[in-house]
């Protein structure tokens, strides 16, 4: 790929030809593609680009993600230092950007979490609650992110937006989806605070310091970041927050939090509320909204899989999870 080699050589000010680089897909993600680029005698860097095919409108905006990283660089929310962005799709077939490589551990599965003591798992739970609170406390003006999104009316816009994404991705009839949209519309809470929201905050979207299991080295995957209701962020985090006895039903194996020592969902929500002072009494609605959003995302991934436009393993499971997620959202609303 001579054009990529030429671009990287200039962007990185490399002292050796980039043709000597090794490029390795970093697995685990289900959306944007992430590669570790290692050049002999140079520091490793990370390249991010959109997925192959079936890219939905407004999704996978590389310039937006790069802007968020730039704004957060040096704040209390640790991120990989952004290096350069390439808007020229001719270089690799899509826009992309390059950032520093941050060494760190990802805890995604129970097997990963086996490396933690119960005390370390508890401390990591607290660090995650701290980090989500820090994200929601970012000074938007200082970070240059005050116009990242419209903020007010967030839940209404999100409901409308994800319905449109569903219509562009859906591969089968699912009547329970239509009923869920009606319920989410009817039971929507009153407008709350407006903050920076990550949009996909969960344990495997942070890199944990390799020497301190309670320190988060970087928060990653900012492609859904915007301005909106922070409780929607918390609700989605709780969707991914697996408890003991729940392992195996979500398609993505984010079950590390089922290991001994991790907070329960209720404990995590309480820890967040204690740090922010926010009322989380209607968190069930936000969790149901999170299940809805995840169902739409996975239906989009399933559409790419059916079109043979995915890279990596495990994509055959995503479509099967969609009706389960919709059913779970109904159950949460019923319980609430």
Q: pLDDT above 70 covers what percent of the chain? A: 88
Residue 159, pLDDT above cutoff 60? yes
Q: What's residue 311's pLDDT?
A: 55
As a whole number, the mean pLDDT across the chain is 89
User: Nearest 5°: phi and psi at 171?
Assistant: -115, 0
16 pLDDT band (50/70/90 cuts)?
A: low
Q: pLDDT per residue over 276-331, tens digit each?
A: 999 999 999 999 999 999 999 889 888 887 777 665 566 677 778 899 999 999 99
Between CA 68 and CA 144 the distance in angstroms is 9
For 108-145, write each residue's pLDDT tens digit.
999 999 999 999 999 999 999 999 999 999 999 999 99
pLDDT tens profile 255-277: 999 999 999 999 999 999 999 99
- What pLDDT, in 10s, does the model give residues 211-238? 999 999 999 999 989 999 999 999 999 9
Question: Whose CA is closest to 320, among 290, 296, 291, 298?
Answer: 298
pLDDT value of residue 245: 81
Q: At what angle do helices 175-186 and 283-306 cross, to 10 degrees?
A: 150
Contact 66, 54 (CB under 8 A): no
* Domains contained in the chain, CATH given: 2-100 (3.30.200.20), 110-335 (3.90.1200.10)
With H, G, I as helix, E, B as strand and everything else as coil, classify residue 214. Answer: coil
Q: Are 44 and 36 in contact (CB under 8 A)?
A: yes
Higher per-residue pLDDT: 217 or 16: 217
Phi/psi for 309 (5° steps) reads -125, 30
| Cα–Cα nearest to 233, from 296, 276, 287, 292 | 287
Instruction: Write out pLDDT tens, residues 80-103.
Output: 999 999 999 999 889 999 999 999
**8-state DSSP, 1:** -
Which pair of tokens denotes residue 170?
């859906």
Mapped onto helix, strand or coil, the DSSP state of residue 84 is strand
DSSP string of 16-62, one letter each residue: S-GGG-EEEE-TT-SSSEEEEEE-TTS--EEEEEPPSS-PPTT-S-H
Alpha helices in the chain (DSSP H): 2-12, 62-72, 110-113, 118-136, 140-143, 154-169, 175-186, 230-240, 265-276, 283-306, 318-335
254 or 34, higher pLDDT: 34
Distance CA 206, CA 257 (A): 13
182 — pLDDT class (breaks 50, 70, 90): very high
pLDDT of the residue at 211: 94
Quick one: pLDDT at residue 243? Answer: 92
Under the banding of pLDDT at 50, 70 and 90, the label for residue 51 is confident
Highest mean pLDDT among 50-54, 167-171, 290-294: 290-294
The reported pLDDT for the residue numbered 251 is: 59
Least confident among 21-25, 175-179, 188-192, 198-202? 21-25
In angstroms, the CA 333 to CA 21 distance is 51
Q: What is the pLDDT of residue 189?
A: 95
| pLDDT score of 238 | 96
Query: To 5 degrees, how large is the angle CA 178–CA 180–CA 183?
Result: 115
Indicate the SS3 state at residue 86. Answer: strand
pLDDT of amino acid 150: 86
Q: What was the pLDDT predicted at 297? A: 87
């Amino acid at each position: 790929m001579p054009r990529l080699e030429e671009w990287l050589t200039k962007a990185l000010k490399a002292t050796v030809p980039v043709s000597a680089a090794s490029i390795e897909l970093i697995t685990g993600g289900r959306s944007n593609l992430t590669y570790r680029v290692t050049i002999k005698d140079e520091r490793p860097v990370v390249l991010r680009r959109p997925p192959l095919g079936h890219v939905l409108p407004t999704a996978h905006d590389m310039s937006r993600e790069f802007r968020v990283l730039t704004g957060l660089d040096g704040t209390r929310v640790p991120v990989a230092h952004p290096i350069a962005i390439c808007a020229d799709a001719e270089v690799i077939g899509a826009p992309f950007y390059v950032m520093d490589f941050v060494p760190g551990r990802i805890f995604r599965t129970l097997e990963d979490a086996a490396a933690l003591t119960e005390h370390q798992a508890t401390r990591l739970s607290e660090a995650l609650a701290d980090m989500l609170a820090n994200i929601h406390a970012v000074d938007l003006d200082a970070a240059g992110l005050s116009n990242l999104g419209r903020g007010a009316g967030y839940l209404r816009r999100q409901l409308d937006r994800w319905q449109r994404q569903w219509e562009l991705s859906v591969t089968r009839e699912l009547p329970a989806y239509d009923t869920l949209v009606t319920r989410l519309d009817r039971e929507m809470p009153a407008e709350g605070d407006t903050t920076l929201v990550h949009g996909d905050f969960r344990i495997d979207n942070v890199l944990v310091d390799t020497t301190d299991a309670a320190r988060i080295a970087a928060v990653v995957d900012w492609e859904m970041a915007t301005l909106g209701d922070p409780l929607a962020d918390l609700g989605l985090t709780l969707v991914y927050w697996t408890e003991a006895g729940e392992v195996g039903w979500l398609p993505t194996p984010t079950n590390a939090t089922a290991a001994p020592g991790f907070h329960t969902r209720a404990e995590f929500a309480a820890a967040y509320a204690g740090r922010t002072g926010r009322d989380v009494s209607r968190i069930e609605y936000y969790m149901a909204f999170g299940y809805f959003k995840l169902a739409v995302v996975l239906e989009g991934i399933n559409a790419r899989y059916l079109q043979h436009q995915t890279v990596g393993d495990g994509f055959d499971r995503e479509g099967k999870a969609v009706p389960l997620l919709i059913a779970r959202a109904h159950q949460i609303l019923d319980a609430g």
